[in-house]
Amino acid sequence: MSRIGSEINRLRTEKGITQKQLGKLVGVSEGFIIEVESGRRVVGDSLLTRIYKALGQNLGDENTYTADDKIADKDIPKKSVKAAPKPVVEVWSDALGSILKAVPVYDYKMDKELEIRKLPVIDNKVEGHAKDKVFYLRIEDEDMSGFRIAKGDMALAYAAQEIEKDAIFLIEYDGKRAVRQIKRLDGDKLLLVSNKGSLITETVTTKSIKVLAKLIRLEIKL
Per-residue pLDDT tens for 64-88?
334 344 333 444 444 444 555 555 5
End-to-end CA distance of the chain: 48
The pLDDT of 45-54, averaged and rounded, is 85
Co-location of 120 and 196 in the same domain: yes
What is the bridge-based pairing of β-strands 210-219 and 176-184?
Answer: unpaired
Is the pLDDT score of 179 beyond 60? Answer: yes
pLDDT at 222: 65
- 78-87 CB contacts, 8 Å cutoff, 24+ apart: 85/45, 86/45
In a domain, 24, yes or no: yes
> Among 20-24, 89-93, 195-199, which is the least confidently predicted range?
89-93
Q: Answer with the one of 58, 85, 112 that is the final residue of a domain.
A: 85
Tell me the per-residue pLDDT of 81-136, one tens digit each, with 9 for 90 and over: 455 555 554 444 444 445 888 999 999 999 999 999 989 988 888 888 888 899 99
pLDDT at 21: 92
Co-location of 107 and 30 in the same domain: no
How many structural domains compose the chain?
2
**Residue 26 · residue 51 · CB < 8 Å:** yes
Co-location of 24 and 111 in the same domain: no
pLDDT at 64: 35
Share of the chain above pLDDT 70, in %: 81
**CA quadruple 25, 29, 32, 34: dihedral sign:** positive
What is the bridge-based pairing of β-strands 129-130 and 125-126?
Answer: antiparallel
Higher pLDDT, 184 or 71: 184
**Residue 172 · residue 162 · CB < 8 Å:** no
CA atoms within 13 A on the CB side of 104: 12
3-state helix, strand, coil in the chain (%, to 5): 30, 30, 40
Co-location of 125 and 210 in the same domain: yes
